[in-house]
């Protein structure tokens, strides 16, 4: 989980252009690659899915996966 110093995985609530720390930590995990993303490097996430992404490419990949699974709409 996380150390008392907040050095493990954080739990965040993602908003439009910002996020709220629910459980302290130093990183989150990319929903696509499962790679750790340090909070200071976190730039990409989905408010609707409450997921973090390591790069814009991975955010697009996830969007396309969801769209394909829903029959291609939106």
**Helix ranges (DSSP H) in 1-74:** 56-69
pLDDT of residue 7: 81
Comparing CA positions, the residue from 41, 58, 40 lying closest to residue 49 is: 58
Question: In whole angstroms, what is the distance from residue 18 CA to residue 65 CA?
Answer: 24
Q: pTM for this structure?
A: 0.84
pLDDT of residue 6: 65
Which residues, at least 6 apart from 47, have a Cβ–Cβ distance to it below 8 Å? 14, 15, 16
Helices and strands (H and E) in the chain: how many = 1, 6
Walking along the chain (74 residues) 10 residues at a time, the average pLDDT comes out as 69 98 97 97 97 98 95 69
pLDDT of residue 1: 44
């Amino acid at each position: 989980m996380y150390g008392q110093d907040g050095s493990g995985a954080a739990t965040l609530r993602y908003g439009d252009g910002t996020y709220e720390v629910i459980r302290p930590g130093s990183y989150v995990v990319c929903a696509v690659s499962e790679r750790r993303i340090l909070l200071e490097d976190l730039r990409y996430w989905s408010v609707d899915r409450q997921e973090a992404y390591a790069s814009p490419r991975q955010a697009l990949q996830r969007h396309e996966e969801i769209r394909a699974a829903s029959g291609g709409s939106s």
